[in-house]
Amino acid sequence: MGDLARAVTACCGGGRVRVNVPLREYTSWRIGGPAQLMVEPASVEGLVKFLAWAGEVGVPVTVMGRGTNLLVADRGVSGLLIRLEKSMGQIGIQGRSILAGAGTPLSGLARTAAGRALTGLAFCAGIPGSVGGALVTNAGAHNHSLAELVREVTVVDRAGRLRVLRGPELKFGYRTSIFKEEFLVAAQVGFELEEGDPGRIRREMAEYTALRRQTQPLDYPSAGSVFKNPPGYYAGRLIEEAGAKGLSRGGARVSLRHANFIVNTGGATAADVWGLIQTVREMVWRRTGVELALEVQLAGDWGE
């Protein structure tokens, strides 16, 4: 264990601390260099301590959940990478209110809510990310998004201070939120749902899951939709009409099933994917004048 790992372990205690962890094992794209130091807090208190320590000593911090919407650089991530998953995946239910840890799998939360006959989260069925990660981009599907259901979010800032954000403070929009503007880490999320018919909820979830299997390229590693849908357009359609469907670079390929997905056909690097992203953007721009904005997030050391 290096000096940095010993320092954070001695200072913060609790949680899991590891050095030089290959992030390709923790991203849905199966791409990414090593994390210099990965920590997995065991609790909200542990998260507060890790962030406070990093702020005091000036260590850069990156946060990830289940790595389903993330392109990690081939060089990896320097400093402290905080991974929120199993250790912060608790769910508490009281009446129509749910309190979920940021590491809770979104699809698991939907199943738990359905089991309690609470409706509203069926659209999350099959979405592979965590609650915390989904908040960052206000994840949604089938004309619904998390913003409709989130009551409040307990966050931790760069200095390790706890805050509770509600309503407009969260700055939800299409694939965006306050987490895109400020360095804040979601720790717990409070949802307010409605009572519903258990059978109907399960049928909706089954329909959404089946539709996902029919329309998305689940046979190869990917990170979901690469680009946001521009106003009035579908990104996938623009990409297909520009002639980029099936285009490849190294082990990365624009999916033949859904053109807004880039899949790892085997051995793809972050550089392969990033190069393909730039090519697709350029082709769409030249044909339509529409500039595609990224939905996936970049992490790590990209150099120039």
Q: Report the distance separating Cα 295 and Cα 233, nearest Å.
A: 15
Query: What does the pLDDT read at residue 88?
Result: 87
What pLDDT is recorded for position 275? 97
User: Residue 143: its pLDDT value, please?
Assistant: 87
List active site positions: 175, 225, 295
Pairing state between β 184-192 and 150-157 = antiparallel
Pick the closest to residue 67 from 114, 32, 16, 20 (CA basis): 32
Residue 247: predicted pLDDT:
98
Successive 10-residue mean pLDDT values, the chain, 304 residues: 70 82 97 96 92 92 94 97 87 96 94 95 89 93 92 96 96 95 96 94 93 91 96 96 98 97 98 98 97 96 83
| C-alpha count within 13 angstroms, C-beta hemisphere, residue 147 | 21
**Could you tell me the pTM of the whole model?**
0.92
One-letter amino acid of 45: E
Neighbours of 229 (CB within 10 A): 18
User: What's the confidence (pLDDT) of residue 231?
Assistant: 94
Whole-number pLDDT of residue 13: 64
User: Strands across the sheet with 248-249, in order?
Assistant: 248-249, 252-254, 262-264
State the pLDDT at residue 126: 80
Q: Name the β-bridge partners of 100.
A: 91, 189
CB distance 178 to 165 below 8 Å: yes
Which pLDDT does position 2 carry in this prediction? Answer: 66
What residue ranges define each of the domains in the chain, with the CATH number in brackets? Answer: 3-86 (3.30.43.10), 89-214 (3.30.465.10), 217-299 (3.90.78.10)
